[in-house]
Structure 1
Amino acid sequence: MTLVQPPSTKEDILQYLMKHGEATAQTLAEMLGVSPQAIRRHLKDLEADELIEHHAVQEGMGRPNYFYCLSRKGRDRFPTQYDTFALSLLDTIAETVGKEEVKTILRKQWERKALNYRQKVGTGSLQDRVDQLVKLRQAEGYMAEWHAVDASDEYPVAGFIITEYNCAISHIAESYPSVCGHELEMFQVALPDCAVSRTHWIVDGEHRCGYLVQER
């Protein structure tokens, strides 16, 4: 008989911080349905393992609030499918032919991938295509999801937000930042009848990348 392992509260904490950027112990306790005392024990363990870090925010004359977020080591626990081998390969190519040639190679790679996305998302409704695109990204190691947005002052036209809470090529992006621009272009090619714009960007220090997709 196969025993089913209970879900780990520590993993739940890491997942929550990955999606929301930062949180206090009290917020984590409320959202995960765990006592504040238990949450603080888990946070202490995760800090000891260097998976999270915290900063204090002073509000008024009372005790400061402590906000917890993932450390670089904590983020690296999430899928990074391409990083290690691909970065080494790109560095080798750069040493051989130069960084400018590597940029050209990366552009050609993303153009090819974009056309592959377009073929796989098909020609259904925009919601179906966005859903399929997110599933393709999830298969590549991205913690991705989507949700619909109604027309409002913030979004004059209704559409969909694609959110990615991790970067499966984060180490590559640090050495070759042009790949981030190519990702936006990829989505535009994959959804040719849509306008795609970036709403959030991990490169700018935010905890997620976000893309707004609207029909033209």
Structure 2
Amino acid sequence: MTFVASLDSPEQQLLGVIKRHGALSLAGIAAQLTISQEAARQRVNRLAHLGLVQKSEQRKSGGRPLGVWELSAKGHARFPDAHAQLSVQLLDAALSLHGNEGIEQLLTAREHAITSKYEEALASAVSLEERLQQLVELRDAEGYMARLETIESGKTWRLIEDHCPIGAAAASCSGFCASETRLFQAILGDGVGVTREEHIQQGEKRCAYKITALTVSC
């Protein structure tokens, strides 16, 4: 069964919350879903019975371990991965036929195509913040569960992607991840710094990029 973007059932909503926020206690789940802890417990128990979530402990200094719930491997698999098996097969075929140079050409062509698509969509944006907000909307629609945090108003933001729909391809070919960073840089321009802070392929729960409006010295 494929997890769909419209989180219309209580269980799917809960999976989405844990995917976006990481491990959560029952109180945290209840707060995110604006339901009682008992209702949260019932939903969690149903998902645990299906093998979609699992319980672990978070240890904090000077206190008792806190029981939290996180997605199991089966739970993570409920999120779309952009036809993962086919993507990996195509990459393997391209490597076999054309070598590393062919893979680089493939990534460059993909980069240019997406850049053109994004540039057209962002053409009406005036400020950097507007471009970021529209970029986040595009990425979110593509399944990245993207969102934007303001670190310093007008100067620094954090672009967060809680899911990677091309995860299998990125795991097979690290060039995809470098390509994503180059893509953001191309879209946002030379006057903007783009730094990856967190990386799903490195075992972290999300990808996060620090976006900084650079000060131009006169």
Match of 1:144 in 2: 146
Q: Distance in 1 between matches of 2:58 and 2:114?
A: 43
Tell me if structure 2 keeps the 8 A contact 1:81–1:140.
Answer: no
C-alpha distance after superposition, 1:71-92 (max 9, x if no partner): 2322232233353432222222
The alignment partner of 1:207 has SS state of: coil
Whether 1:43 aligns to 2:40 is: no
Residue 159 of structure 2 is matched in structure 1 by 162
**Which of 161, 167, 171 is the aligned partner of 2:168?**
171
1:169 deviates by 0.2
Report the CA distance between 1:187 and its aligned residue. 0.2
Equivalent residues, number: 206
Cα distance in 2 for residues equivalent to 1:58 and 1:182: 37
Runs of 4+ in 1 over 6 A off after TM superposition: 59-63
CA-to-aligned-CA distance 1:154-209 (integer Å, 9 cap, x gap): xxx82222111100101111111221111011000001131111122112222111
Give, in whole Å, the separation in 1 of the partners of 2:78 and 2:22. 15
Q: Do the aligned residues in 2 keep the contact of 1:200 with 1:211 (CA within 8 Å)?
A: yes
Q: Percent identity?
A: 29
Q: CA RMSD in A?
A: 2.6
Return 5+ residue gaps in structure 1 as ranges: 1-5, 152-156
Pair 1:114 & 2:111 matched:
no
Using the size of structure 2 for normalisation, the TM-score is 0.81
Could you list the runs of 5+ residues in structure 2 that have no partner in the other structure?
A: 1-6
Partner of 2:205: 207
CA contact (8 A) 1:79 1:142 kept: no
Q: Distance in 1 between matches of 2:133 and 2:88?
A: 29
8 Å CA contact 1:115–1:189 kept in 2: the answer is: no
**Distance in 1, Cα, partners of 2:163 & 2:103:** 24
**Whole-angstrom CA distance in 2 between matches of 1:196 and 1:62:** 38
**Displacement, 1:21?**
0.9
Give 1:93 shift: 2.0
TM-score calculated relative to the size of structure 1? 0.82
Structure 1 residues 57-76: aligned runs within 5 Å: 57=58, 64-76=65-77
